[in-house]
Structure 1
Amino acid sequence: MKQKIYLLSFSLFFCGLSLLSQKKEYEIVVPDLVNPWGFTFLPDNSMLITEKEGKLIHFKHGRKINIGNLPEIYVRGQGGFMDVELHPNYSQNGWIYFTYASQGGKGNGGNTTLMRAKLKENQLVEKEVLYKASPNSKRGQHFGSRIAFDKENRVYFSVGDRGNRELNPQDITRDGGKIYRLNDDGSVPINNPFVNQKNAKKAIFSFGHRNPQGMEMNPFTNEIWAHEHGPQGGDEINIIKKGENYGWPKASYGINYSGTKFTDKTSIPGMKSPIHHWTPSIAPSGMAFISSDKYGKWKGNLLVGSLKFQYVSRCILKGNTVFKEVKLLKDIGRVRSIEQGLDGFMYVGVENLGIVKILPN
């Protein structure tokens, strides 16, 4: 009898261990989204969510409300309705910032645009285009685009090289392959790096980028961090510095999709090298620092989404070095966007699933 009780207890113990090991990693907060390219939290903890196909959703009290009076959005390839961020003083001024592809301006096709607007009775009002990259192109790749603010409330946004690596990224007289910095009203800061250079695009803050789809201010250092897609290999994390050249396509850890090389250099003197790279590519999209205490020792880690391998990489940092990576939410789907909520929890936008909350383990 004692032996049977011992075996039963032993069995229950391992059953408990098994249940613990199967503890849920996440819960779905906003279901049934196609491509939640960007999202942000309003002061009442409701959410604004962009769908790449050209929708803006206000998710509140479990309901999805489609916001009206959107700008005309050019949906092609990787382009559409992209990021959304609130002004740091949103509670006082009500400004919301968006990036999207539009057909306005010179040339056929579209290019990335930064707009700000306010929300009133489920409509966008007081819309202001702050920047429109040019010329337009019918190419469907590399629109960027993420938005971040610094401590001085200046707005940064990224525009990919639009599939034209030969002309755009290394030329500061052309848009594309750049990270830009503006004052919050769209004016150019007087200390931007190229304001006094003839024919330069005055809003450029850094150049030599391929397609940055993750950008965030590091809350511990107040520096702007960004990641970008490489080609076949060579996805990068960079710390964005004023006026610096990040090398694309002169230096890269990647190769052409055909398997051929386009450069034999991974670094070049005078150009900034990445602090971390992924080869093979993970196709990174979305990033956020964990600055809350909700996840214990994870505080200070950086989360990066993988479109290709469908997980979230928890990057453990030592200073400005990625010391180790741990995969979260394996096989959840194509991870498009990541944000820390007002409640301190981390939220992840997943294509063809929705927005999920990572549960503390």
Structure 2
Amino acid sequence: MLTALPRASFWLHWCWTLLLAVLLSTLVQTQFNLLALQQLGVSIPWAERLATSGHDLLNFTPVYLVLFASCYLIAMPLAHGLSSRLQARWRTPLFAVAAALGLWLTLVLVNALAPMPTLIAASRSLAGLLSLLLIAALAAVILAWLTADSAGRSNRRSDRQGAGQPLMLLPLLLFLPGIQPPAIAKTELQLDTLVRGLEHPWSLAFLPTGPMLVTERPGRLRLIHTDGRLEPEPIGGLPEVFASGQAGLFDVVPAPDFGQSQQIFLSYACGRMRANHTCLARARLDLSQLKLTELTEIFRSYPAKTGNAHYGGRVVFLDDGSLVLSLGDGFDYREEAQRLSSHLGALVRLWPDGSVPDDNPLVGQSGALAEIFSWGHRNVQGLVYDSARQQLLSHEHGPKGGDELNRIVAGANYGWPVVTQGIDYTGARITPFTQFDGMTPPLLDWTPSIAPSGLALYQGELFSDWQGDLLVGALAGRQLQRVRLTDQGARIEQVLLTELAERIRDVRVGPDGAIYLLTDDARGRLLRLSPSYDDDGATAW
């Protein structure tokens, strides 16, 4: 044993230095978040700064309390025990190093286990990380000074009860349950499973000749025959895909002239963990040989980023033959979505050979990337073009709330991260603004988040009342939503498939008018949704 457990007085000082460190760290976290916005040229009035600080003290503090207490509970008694065996002059530096090192290791562990690359936003920068570590060290120094007189004393049995008191400071995190929009009366539907055993399928495409293509995120392209049979072997000749976390093979889209050109377009993550991109390639599909030929990379996002989150990856063709590709903000790089020198957090528009259309909004603008069509996006995973109304529509993931449905206009700024209805996963505010001059508001937002993924425009005969409606899949929401566009924006008409309780990754309308869905799972499924008919052949609804 290093020494007996600390006395009860030690734990009393432990508690209040813990609280001091958490409160100071919360205020520092807030200021670093606001500083990132200021560096984009955004002015933040003092009233907004104070309101944001107050919000974070109420909402971020409990999360950081649990995180910091977990390391402080181990590091400080350990430092106390070690210091009793060393000379007194080593006590204070030992406490400071133990607290800072403990917090750093805790952040590393949390970031490795959490779905997002960096949980505490302030620690994205070296300055922010060092500030948090210095506060931890400061709290530990104060604790060392206050408890120096009891460093060498033995611990009595009665004090052992006090040793457990700080555990009361480790409340369980409360996760807000998803509040679902009110569902309209249920429609009688028939849901059939066509294919099982797809590994995290991401995108579905119908070929004019009848078969279907499905991408699997680990980097495989699969063929489903017209009889519903899954070809056992994946299609060969794919580009090298970086598959990790959210990174992998994304969209597959046949060229508008596929019947003549046999060309398809693939979006995917390329590179390695410390330097990766969203890439777009075109290739010729040889169905007789089940392989791709003439593979050519036509676009690679700039700059390279570290981590494996937020790639976007949806592709859609416009009436003029150009295509639009969605790009994510890379999660830790959210401010890049406001910089026109970066593709991160943008939609880009290209010709099928990768060249830039002359009428792109930023062509000829100094310091701007000519491929950019719109910017200020977080992670666009739904993209559809309504040729009847000549409008491009997208939806994107917000953080904790603030998912958005947007009507895309060339050259428009959609606000992220200056504007959002959501907050960070820790409860901290990302920005004090929910609207801002010069930034386009969404048609619809989902708060709490449903994590929308897959977007389709219904144009078919099976669901006559759904003509022109949008179909939105949901990952976190585990449902399908039917959304109607209105003069004022958009509204949720119906929530479907909640009983399925599966993450929906992609939504497509088939040539037969049925709705086809991909579920996101290690053994994902391809589903077909159609009206249910009674014995007389009439729809049951």
Q: TM-score, normalised by structure 2?
A: 0.61
Structure-2 residue corresponding to 1:300: 468
Q: Within 2, Cα distance between the matches of 1:257 and 1:162?
A: 16
Single out whichever of 246-255 and 347-356 deviates more from structure 2. 347-356
Residue 504 (structure 2) pairs with residue 335 (structure 1): yes
Alignment equivalent of 2:321, drawn from 140, 150, 153? 153
Question: What's the offset of the Cα at 1:141?
Answer: 1.1
Contact 1:309/1:331 (<8 A) preserved: no
Compute the displacement of 1:30 (Å). 2.0
Residue 239 (str. 1) matches residue 239 (str. 2):
no
The answer to whether the 8 Å contact 1:45/1:342 transfers is no
1:200 to partner: Cα distance: 1.6
In structure 1, the residue corresponding to 2:267 is in which secondary structure? strand
| CA distance in 2 between partners of 1:23 and 1:239 (Å) | 31
Distance in 1 (CA, whole Å) between partners of 2:488 and 2:467 is 15
C-alpha separation between the residues in 2 aligned to 1:331 and 1:35?
20
Deviation by residue 1:64-119 (Cα, 9 ceiling, x = unmatched):
24101110000121110001111111112111011000018xx9331100111111
Alpha-carbon separation, structure 1, partners of 2:299 and 2:277: 11
What one-letter code is carried by the residue in structure 1 that aligns with 2:511? Answer: L
- Cα deviation, residue 24, structure 1: 5.0
Task: Give distance in 1, aligned partners of 2:257 and 2:187.
Answer: 41
Q: Kindly indicate whether the alpha-carbon contact (under 8 Å) linking 2:334 and 2:345 is maintained by their aligned counterparts in 1.
A: no
Question: C-alpha displacement at 1:164, in angstroms?
Answer: 3.2
Match of 2:530 in 1: 359
Select the residue among 171, 193, 197 that pairs with 2:365: 197
Label 1:223 to 1:24 Cα distance change in 2 as closer, same or farther (>3 A): closer
Asked whether the equivalents of residues 194 and 202 of structure 1 are also in contact (C-alpha less than 8 Å), the reply is yes
Give the conservation status (yes or no) of the 8 Å contact 2:334–2:378.
Answer: no
8 A contact 2:449–2:477 mirrored in 1: no
Q: Does 1:251 align with 2:419?
A: yes
The change in CA–CA distance for 1:89 and 1:54 in structure 2 (over 3 A counts) is: same
More strand by proportion, 1 or 2? Answer: 1
Equivalent residue, structure 2, for 1:286: 454
Q: Which has the higher helix share?
A: 2
How far apart, CA to CA, are the structure 2 residues paired with 1:301 and 1:171?
33
| Cα drift, residue 317 of structure 1 | 2.7
Q: Match of 1:316, SS?
A: strand
CA–CA separation in structure 2 for the residues paired with 1:320 and 1:290:
20
Q: How many residues end up aligned between the 2 structures?
A: 339
RMSD: 1.7
In 2 relative to 1, CA 166–227 (structure 1 residues): closer, same or farther, beyond 3 Å? Answer: closer
Matched residue type, 2:280: L
Aligned-partner residue type, residue 315 of structure 2: I
SS of structure 2 residue aligned to 1:238: strand
Compared CA separation, residues 297 and 24, structure 1 to 2 (3 A): closer
* CA shift for structure 1 position 224: 0.9
**Bigger mean CA offset, 133-142 vs 94-103:** 133-142
1:275 alignment partner in structure 2: 443
Q: CA deviation at 1:202?
A: 1.0
Q: 1:112 aligns with which of 275, 278, 291?
A: 278
Give the equivalent residue in structure 1 for 2:300. 132
Compare 170-179 and 322-331 and name the one that shifted more: 322-331
Superposed, 1:1-361 pairs within 5 Å as 24-60=189-225, 61=227, 62-64=229-231, 65-103=233-271, 108-120=274-286, 121-319=289-487, 321-332=489-500, 333-352=502-521, 353-361=524-532
CA distance in 1, matches of 2:187, 2:318: 40
Which 4+ stretches in 1 moved above 4 angstroms?
21-24
**Residue 178 of structure 1 aligns to which amino acid in structure 2?**
A
Q: Deviations over 1:168-196 (max 9, x none)?
A: 10001112100000012211000111110
Q: Distance in 1 between matches of 2:303 and 2:347?
A: 17
String of CA shifts for 1:34-58, please: whole Å, max 9, x gaps.
2110110111221110000111001
Q: Aligned residue for 1:6?
A: none
3-state SS of the aligned residue for 1:169? helix
| Displacement of 1:219 | 3.5
1:229–1:284 Cα contact (<8 Å) kept: yes
Displacement of 1:242: 0.6
**CA-CA distance at 1:22 after TM superposition:** 10
Query: What residue identity is the alignment partner of 1:195?
Result: V
Task: Indicate the SS of the match to 1:250.
Answer: coil
| One-letter amino acid of the counterpart of residue 55, structure 1 | R
| Secondary structure, counterpart of 2:275 in structure 1 | coil
| Structure of larger gyration radius | 2
Identity rate of aligned residues, in percent? 36
Work out the CA distance in 2 between the residues paired with 1:215 and 1:307: 16
Which residue identity does 2:274 align to in structure 1?
Answer: N
In structure 2, how many angstroms separate the alpha carbons of the residues matched to 1:323 and 1:204?
29
Specify every segment of 5 or more residues in structure 2 that has no aligned partner in the other structure, as ranges. Answer: 1-185, 533-541
CA contact (8 A) 1:114 1:129 kept: yes
Question: Are the structure 2 counterparts of residues 98 and 320 from structure 1 closer, same or farther at C-alpha, using a change threshold of 3 Å?
Answer: farther
1:90–1:96: 8 Å Cα contact kept in structure 2? yes
How far 1:321 moved relative to its partner?
A: 2.4
Aligned partner letter, 1:264: P
Give yes or no for contact 2:188–2:531 (8 Å, CA) kept in 1: no
1:73 aligned partner, one-letter code: V
Q: Gaps spanning 5+ residues in structure 1: where?
A: 1-20
Secondary structure, in 3 states, of the residue corresponding to 1:271? Answer: coil
